[in-house]
Amino acid sequence: MTKQIERHAIVVVGGGPAGLAAAIAAYEAGEHDVIILERDTKLGGILNQCIHNGFGLHTFKEELTGPEYAARYEQRANELCIERRLGTMVVDISADRVVTAVSAEAGITRMQAGAVVLAMGCRERPRGGLATPGYRPAGIFSAGTAQRLVNIEGQLPGREVVILGSGDIGLIMARRMTLEGAHVACVAEIMPYSGGLKRNIVQCLDDFGIPLLLSHTVVDIEGRDRVEAVTIAEVDDHLRPIPGTEVRYPCDTLMLSVGLLPENELSREAGVEISPVTRGPVVDESLQTSIPGVFACGNVLHVHDLVDYVSEEASAAGAQAARFVTEGFEAKGSRGIPVTATDGVRYTVPSFIDPSRMDKLLTVRFRVANEYRDRYVSVYLDDERIQHRKKRVMAPGEMEQVVLKRSDLEARPNLANITIKLEEE
Amino acid sequence: MATEIRELICINCPLGCPLTVTLEDGEVTSVSGNTCPRGDAYGRKEVTNPRRTVTTTVPVDGSATEHMVSVKTATDIPKGKIFDVVSELAGVRAKAPIAIGDVVLANVAGTGVDVIATKSA
């Protein structure tokens, strides 16, 4: 028996910080038929297990923990009576915006959406994505799994810990495990720079005397049933272990914090164009993907360091989705003026800008390819440099941004390209 | 007069501004590199009386949804007291219902600072 298809103006896929902010913004923009589909039994997403502080300074001008930050948005969604279905997992999105979801209560539900907001977040890069030798004993955790075990389940994953990868979750977990009475021997990072925020190196490693070994990686894992030791070696410029530098660390736990990957299985199935650099959808100034009426925001679009920026971006996506539903977007031959990322700029979000659709000011976010000191971030409209700003330090672990003015773009009707790059002077 | 210059990373927010704190005879005379007033305050405190907010969890009894409730010190506490705070919390259990902001342990480790819930359960 086939149930009748439901209709909703806006379907938001995911009830984490991005989905919540998008749904609220869509509602506040005047489109009240908004529904959030969330596979977990509660809203808030990963913030529920991020019990550390540092969230919300930009959004709320105060320092909150993850659960507190999520609660603010959840409360707002409750005030607006935004419909949400928990325990409901989206299994398919079609190119004509039919969203199929499953839940224990309702079985399979199909919804025709006026607009879809993708807000599925990201996943941790698993061990299988790394060429780490050895058996597959117990005691190897991704940092986020360990974080869930400690902060949600109240279980300590181990007592003697080595962490591979210096992503923020790994750094946060180094401190968390230490506070829970475990000993963290070191954090090994294969790259010559940290993948996490500087503040986390200060307050999670330096505060507790935990060494950060840059240009080091795990070359051996001992133990058949449970991890017994790992061996760490220095790597050369080509990231190859240098013989003779091996140090053995007896331990019962190896934690991996080796990167996050936007979770775009649904987007890919729908036919959304995915960037090979961000692994998220290629979007325009409205955060619209290559499929009209399908928008993306938060960590499914590109991995953020700061939830405040996720909320900001998601609010924009939600408001644009509402605009798409109420006013419609005029169909155009092209997606807008391409934004080129080059000379140390790895990517930009958005990748296309249509000046007629952009707000007065548009934030373009990007990451750099390496660690840089005293470089200029430059914006070119065709061959004309219109922005040139010096940054003391830039690193791949920290997202950067430039703000473009609509008036600058509109003043150049034949503008063919926007370029964002780093320059030495 | 002894001038000392300390290079710090502000930990107030994820921007992580690089700070330069100048001290004359142990007194802070200037903070630069910060992009907001919190950075200035952090720079001054960090070189004289470093403080941290402690976040952790305690078990919660009687909640239908949660095993643990996350907590924090209501304000920052002296950095040297971090482990005193967590060891005093080691025996504490919260009782549901509990709301964000509820005091879980008053005056933790003699700091004069309360530990409060950051999650409802």
Is the same domain home to B61 and B100? Answer: yes
- Looking at the predicted structure, is the pLDDT value of residue A364 above 90? yes
A399 touches chain B (CB under 8 A): no
Q: Which range (A54-63, A197-206, B9-18, B112-121) has the least confidence?
A: B9-18
Is the same domain home to A146 and A57? Answer: no
Average confidence score pLDDT of chain B? 94
Average confidence score pLDDT of chain A? 95
Asked if A53 and B53 come within 8 Å (Cβ–Cβ), the reply is yes
Sign, CA torsion A371/A372/A373/A376: negative
CB-CB neighbors (< 8 A) of B118 in chain A: 51, 64-65, 67-68
Q: Which residue has the tokens 């979770």?
A: A263
Chain A contact probe: residue of B6, B8, B12, B15 with most A CBs at under 10 A? B15
A63 touches chain B (CB under 8 A): yes
Is the same domain home to B90 and B59? Answer: yes
Locate the chain B residue with the closest alpha carbon to A399: B15
Per-residue confidence (pLDDT) for residue A197, from 0 to 100: 86
Here the CATH number for the domain that contains residue A235 is 3.50.50.60
Chain B contact probe: residue of A65, A173, A208, A399 with most B CBs at under 10 A? A65
Per-residue confidence (pLDDT) for residue A2, from 0 to 100: 59
Confidence of residue A348 (pLDDT cuts 50, 70, 90): very high
**What single-letter amino acid sits at A142?**
S
Is the same domain home to B44 and B87? Answer: no
Q: Which of A350, A149, A344, A405 shows the shortest CA–CA distance to A255?
A: A149
- pTM for the full predicted model: 0.93
Q: Which of A291, A284, A285 shows the shortest CA–CA distance to A266?
A: A291
Is the same domain home to B27 and B66? Answer: no
Is the same domain home to A200 and A99? Answer: no
Q: How far is A247 from A92, CA to CA, in rounded Å?
A: 48
Residue A29, H or E segment: none
Q: Which range (A19-28, A55-64, A379-388, B104-113) has the least confidence?
A: A55-64
Is the same domain home to B34 and B17? Answer: yes
CB pairs under 8 A between A and B: 90
B9 touches chain A (CB under 8 A): yes
> Residue A193 is part of which domain span?
126-258
Is the same domain home to A119 and A263? Answer: yes
Is the same domain home to B69 and B112? Answer: yes
**Count of structural domains within chain B:** 2
Per-residue confidence (pLDDT) for residue A4, from 0 to 100: 85
Is the same domain home to A2 and A118? Answer: yes
Per-residue confidence (pLDDT) for residue A331, from 0 to 100: 77
A203 touches chain B (CB under 8 A): yes
CB B23 within 8 A of CB B48: no
Letter string b/e over residues B34-73, b meaning 16 or more CB atoms within 10 A of that residue's CB:
bebebbbebbbebbeeebbbbbbbbebeebeebebbbbbb
A138 touches chain B (CB under 8 A): no
Is the same domain home to B44 and B59? Answer: no
Of B49, B64, B79, which residue sits at a domain end?
B49
Locate the chain B residue with the closest alpha carbon to A55: B13
Asked if B82 and A57 come within 8 Å (Cβ–Cβ), the reply is no
pLDDT digits 0-9 by tens, A209-257: 999 999 999 999 999 999 999 999 999 999 999 999 999 999 999 999 9
Is the same domain home to B39 and B61? Answer: no
Of A329, A349, A365, which residue sits at a domain end?
A329
Nearest chain A CA: its distance from B1 CA (Å): 30
pLDDT digits 0-9 by tens, A307-324: 999 999 999 999 999 999
Of A312, A329, A346, which residue sits at a domain end?
A329
A65 touches chain B (CB under 8 A): yes
CB-CB neighbors (< 8 A) of A48 in chain B: 119
pLDDT digits 0-9 by tens, B35-94: 889 899 999 999 999 999 999 999 999 999 999 999 999 999 999 999 999 999 999 999
Asked if A67 and B70 come within 8 Å (Cβ–Cβ), the reply is yes
Per-residue confidence (pLDDT) for residue B107, from 0 to 100: 98
Nearest to B100 among A68, A176, A203 (CB): A68
Q: Which of A16, A17, A13, A18 shows the shortest CA–CA distance to A34?
A: A13
Here the CATH number for the domain that contains residue B76 is 3.10.530.10
Nearest chain B CA: its distance from A70 CA (Å): 10
Per-residue confidence (pLDDT) for residue A128, from 0 to 100: 62
Per-residue confidence (pLDDT) for residue A131, from 0 to 100: 62
Asked if B65 and A41 come within 8 Å (Cβ–Cβ), the reply is yes
pLDDT digits 0-9 by tens, A102-140: 999 999 999 999 999 999 999 998 866 556 666 778 999
Asked if A154 and B56 come within 8 Å (Cβ–Cβ), the reply is no
CB atoms under 10 Å from CB of B99, counted, come to 12
Chain A contact probe: residue of B7, B57, B113 with most A CBs at under 10 A? B57
Q: How far is A366 from A349, CA to CA, in rounded Å?
A: 6
Is the same domain home to A119 and A178? Answer: no
A58 touches chain B (CB under 8 A): yes
Q: How is residue B80 annotated by DSSP? A: G
Is the same domain home to B78 and B31? Answer: no
Is the same domain home to A30 and A112? Answer: yes
> Residue B43 is part of which domain span?
3-49
Of A238, A258, A278, which residue sits at a domain end?
A258
Is the same domain home to B33 and B68? Answer: no
Per-residue confidence (pLDDT) for residue A393, from 0 to 100: 83
Nearest to A202 among B9, B33, B70 (CB): B9
- Looking at the predicted structure, is the pLDDT value of residue A83 above 60? yes
Per-residue confidence (pLDDT) for residue B17, from 0 to 100: 87
Of B28, B49, B70, which residue sits at a domain end?
B49
CB B51 within 8 A of CB A232: no
Nearest chain B CA: its distance from A344 CA (Å): 20
Is the same domain home to A372 and A251? Answer: no
B32 touches chain A (CB under 8 A): no
Per-residue confidence (pLDDT) for residue B95, from 0 to 100: 96
Nearest chain A CA: its distance from B22 CA (Å): 19
Per-residue confidence (pLDDT) for residue A334, from 0 to 100: 83
Is the same domain home to A91 and A45? Answer: yes
CB-CB neighbors (< 8 A) of B84 in chain A: none
CB atoms under 10 Å from CB of A2, counted, come to 6
A374 touches chain B (CB under 8 A): no
Q: How far is B115 from A65, CA to CA, in rounded Å?
A: 13
**Count of structural domains within chain A:** 3
Average pLDDT over residues A79-89: 98
* SS3 (DSSP) at A180: coil
End-to-end Cα spacing for chain B: 56
Per-residue confidence (pLDDT) for residue A132, from 0 to 100: 64
Is the same domain home to B74 and B110? Answer: yes
End-to-end Cα spacing for chain A: 67
